[in-house]
Amino acid sequence: MSTAKSAHATGFFAARELRISPERVLRVMGYRDGVSIRTQIRRTAEAMATVLTSVATPTARYRRVQIASCGPEGLLLSTGTSFRGPTFAAYLSDCAEAAIFILSLGNRFDSTQKHLTDSGHSVEAYMLEIAGWLGIEEATRLLRTHLDEEARSDGLQLTRRMAPGYTSRVGGQKVEWPLEDQLPLFSLFDESTLPARLLEGSCAMTPKMSRSGLYGLHRSQ
């Protein structure tokens, strides 16, 4: 389910339940398709894929904001919020807006994995970790689809996703959007409404399976 908002307002997104196949979990673990896998390993993968479906509650808050300027030093939004680095000029130079988001699978995933670890079920905890990373990827894809539908209704298209702490290739070199820019990104939202928060004294997010970032919005060709 999702709630569409007008441009420049804060929107809410809730994904349908996530279904990650156990084959994908096993593939990430290094098991190739067609290779014989012990019955217990396969059953554990199936069980953890099912657990993910029951404990993950993918939700996001997002906000569309006008871009005031975009240059080699960074990105400045109409709110006065600024992000550093040359990445933005390379990918958002023709964008008038940015869609900023914070997405999470929720606290139940963390508590379930911790319980598995504390009770000595290390293999199950490891497989659930993999299922969680596959789950946040799927939730991001669903969020992008939702944002893309909203953008297209306004005659706009999304750029690639960008995120603090991640690198992009600019002029043949890898350039990082500093992780410290999580702070101004989170400041664009009412903290009480967010599905994730920053750890005290850190720019890491909790719950663990959380993601932040932005997409540029430009006119359709």
**The domain that contains 18 carries what CATH number?**
3.40.109.40
- Supply the pLDDT for residue 72: 92
Asked if residue 10 lies in contact with residue 61, where contact means CB atoms within 8 angstroms, the answer is yes
pLDDT in tens, 119-149: 999 999 999 999 999 999 999 999 999 999 9
Question: Structurally, how many domains does the chain consist of?
Answer: 1
- Supply the pLDDT for residue 81: 98
- Supply the pLDDT for residue 1: 42
- Supply the pLDDT for residue 6: 46
The tens-digit pLDDT sequence of the chain (221 residues) is: 444 444 457 899 999 889 999 999 999 999 987 678 999 999 999 999 999 999 999 999 999 999 999 999 999 999 999 999 999 999 999 999 999 999 999 999 999 999 999 999 999 999 999 999 999 999 999 999 999 999 999 999 999 999 999 998 888 899 999 999 999 999 999 999 999 999 988 999 999 999 999 999 999 86
DSSP state letters, the chain: -EE---TTSEEEEEPPPP---HHHHHHHTTPPTTS---HHHHHHHHHHHHHHHHH---EEEEEEEEEEEEETTEEEETTS-EEESTHHHHHSTT-SEEEEEEEE--HHHHHHHHHHHHTT-HHHHHHHHHHHHHHHHHHHHHHHHHHHHHHHHTTEEEEEEE-TT-EEEETTEEEE--GGGHHHHHTTS-GGG-S-EEPTTSS-EESSSEEEEEEEEEE--
| Full residue range of the structural domain in which residue 214 is found | 2-219
